[in-house]
Amino acid sequence: MGVFRQIAEYLYLRKKDPHATDTQWMKYMHGINRISIFMFLAAVIIMLVKLIFFKRH
């Protein structure tokens, strides 16, 4: 499975593979990965907003 495909599944842009095995620990790992990706994207958006709107001269 490719990295971009996995990220797309985390961000709910692509459906999960129905044939993939899913254990409880795998669900925990995917949940933590999903949280970290959302936090990273939120931080990038906040940094861009600060850069664009709060630029000091």
- pLDDT score recorded for residue 54: 86
Q: Chain-wide mean pLDDT for the chain?
A: 83
The more confident residue out of 38 and 10 is 38
The amino acid at residue 56 is R
**How many domains, the chain?**
1
Whether residue 41 is contained in a domain is answered as yes
Whether residue 9 is contained in a domain is answered as yes
Mean pLDDT of 2-28: 77
Task: Give the C-alpha distances (Å, rounded to integers) separating 57 from 32, 37, 46, 53, 54.
Answer: 40, 33, 20, 12, 10
Mean pLDDT of 51-57: 81
Question: 17-41 pLDDT, tens per residue?
Answer: 777 777 898 888 888 988 998 899 9
Whether residue 18 is contained in a domain is answered as no
Whether residue 37 is contained in a domain is answered as yes
Whole-prediction pTM value?
0.64
* Residue 36 and residue 6 in contact, taking contact as beta carbons nearer than 8 Å: no
Whether residue 33 is contained in a domain is answered as yes
Range of the domain at 9: 3-13+23-53
